[in-house]
Amino acid sequence: MTRVAVLYGGISVEREVSLNSGRQVIAALRQAGFDVLPIDVGEDLGAVIAALDPKPDAVFNALHGRFGEDGTIQGVLDWLGIPYTHSGVRASSLAMDKVAAKAAFHAAGLPVARGRVIAVDELAANDPLPLPYVVKPVNEGSSVGVSIIRQGDNRRSEVAENWRYGPVLVEEFVPGRELTVGVMGDRALAVTEIIAEAGTFYDYESKYADGGSRHVVPASVHPDTYAQALEFAVLAHRALGCAGATRTDFRYDDTAGEPGRLVLLEVNTQPGMTPTSLLPEQAAHRGVSFPALCTWMVEHAACRA
């Protein structure tokens, strides 16, 4: 029987999200017949390494956020010689750094939002872009720290005063709809439209609060847009050198009619892993159950140094 260690929890601001993913993965892998070793990752890296001795056959990385999806734990696992799920050090670190990822997407000919990196002092002093615009951290996931500054809302000073994420990435606000595409290996699964029930953008609360959003899969968009989103997701996955499963997020500006403008936002190398998360939903839409998806990930685990 294959022995799989599941790393979950972690020390990022996304710990609770990771704990939820990890619990679901543990149950699914046990249902699929694996010998599962759960490891709740905390601040003591030595304790994590000790828990991985004797070495499991594979590690299922269910960590989210810093130290879990930025290449850090991937480097440790490469050092230890333990195969792991999802992307390696380079792809993980690139995807987590929104500026570096945008450069890679741009070089691959993919459409990205216009923007630049500024110091928080500049945000406090003046609007760095025409309104409306988006403010986001360079290195965070799950929409942590993301705000939209709109005409007349007077939130810029408040956002700047409470900022704790380092340099600020500001980007044009792309109106329209939120789309996402999961990729397994070299194939795109489907296009999902995400509708935030509060009528705002798909922020942290919309992602994780009960009833915060609903998912429409397959998305009801122009056929050309649907096909383009599938293609762009695979190209983005390849541009970063990703492995295993990823999820690519888009904004779709159809305010002037369809087909509209598709803008790539980011690639998530550690998508949420509960049966109702976006990637598993798309896999189910393609006939892949949650235990089968988790099994596929373990079967494709590797050291990626």
pTM: 0.90
Q: Which of 15, 66, 156, 247 is catalytic?
A: 247
Q: Is the domain of 189 the same as that of 234?
A: yes
Active-site residue, selected from the candidate residues 272, 277, 281, 304: 272
Which candidate in 93, 206, 268, 277 is catalytic?
A: 268
Catalytic residue among 30, 90, 176, 208: 208
Answer yes or no: 208 catalytic: yes
Verify whether residue 231 is a known catalytic residue: no
- Do 256 and 125 share a structural domain? no
Instruction: Give CA–CA dist 148/243, Å, rounded.
Output: 32
Nearest CA to 18 among 193, 277, 202?
277
| Residue of 70, 178, 249, 281 marked catalytic | 249
145 has catalytic annotation: no
- Asked if residue 100 belongs to a domain, the reply is yes
Q: Burial-class residue 58 by CB neighbours within 10 Å (0-12, 13-18, 19+).
A: buried
272-298: pLDDT as tens digits:
999 889 999 999 999 999 999 999 999
CA distance 140 to 162: 16
* Cβ contact 89:305 at 8 Å: yes
Do 232 and 99 belong together in one domain?
Answer: yes
Q: Which of 69, 86, 103 is the last residue of a domain?
A: 86
| 105 and 138 fall within a common domain | no
pLDDT given for residue 118 in this prediction: 93
Residues 47 and 144 in one domain: no
User: Per residue of the chain (305 residues), what is the pLDDT tens digit?
Assistant: 799 999 999 999 899 999 999 999 999 999 999 999 999 999 999 999 999 999 999 999 999 998 999 999 999 999 999 999 999 999 999 999 999 999 999 999 999 999 999 999 999 899 999 999 999 998 876 577 899 999 888 889 899 989 988 899 999 999 999 999 999 999 999 999 999 876 555 444 544 445 567 999 999 999 999 999 999 999 999 999 999 999 999 999 999 888 899 999 999 999 999 988 999 999 999 999 999 999 999 999 999 88
**Per-residue pLDDT at 204:** 44
Q: How would you classify the pairing of strands 3-9 and 261-268? A: unpaired
Could you tell me if residue 32 is inside a domain?
yes
Marked catalytic residue, from 14, 78, 178, 281: 14
DSSP at 55: P
CATH of the domain at 182: 3.30.470.20
Q: Is residue 264 part of a domain?
A: yes
Domain that holds residue 157: 116-172
Q: Is 272 a catalytic residue?
A: yes
Percent of the chain with pLDDT strictly greater than 90:
81
pLDDT of residue 203: 46
Is-catalytic flag, 14?
A: yes
266 is catalytic: yes
Q: Considering 12, 87, 142, 277, which one is annotated as catalytic?
A: 142
pLDDT at 206: 47
One domain, residues 184 and 255: yes
- Is 185 within a domain? yes
Q: What is the pLDDT of residue 209?
A: 47
Buried b (16+ CB within 10 A) or exposed e, 138-174: bbbbbbbbbbbbeeeeeebeebbeebebeebbbbebb
225 with 161, same domain? no
Here the CATH number for the domain that contains residue 65 is 3.40.50.20
Structure confidence at residue 257 (pLDDT) = 86
133 a catalytic residue: no
Co-location of 133 and 165 in the same domain: yes
Catalytic residue among 88, 266, 281, 304: 266
Number of domains in the chain: 3
The SS3 assignment for 125 reads: helix
Residue 229 and residue 153 share a domain:
no
Question: For residue range 129-188, what is the model confidence (pLDDT) as tens digits?
Answer: 999 999 999 887 657 789 999 988 888 989 998 998 889 999 999 999 999 999 999 999
**Residue 279 corresponds to which amino acid?**
L
**pLDDT score, position 228:** 97
Q: How far apart are CA 101 and CA 98, in angstroms?
A: 5
DSSP string, 222-271: -HHHHHHHHHHHHHHHHHHT--SEEEEEEEEE-TT-SS-EEEEEEEESS-
Does the annotation mark 155 as catalytic? no
Give the length of the chain.
Answer: 305
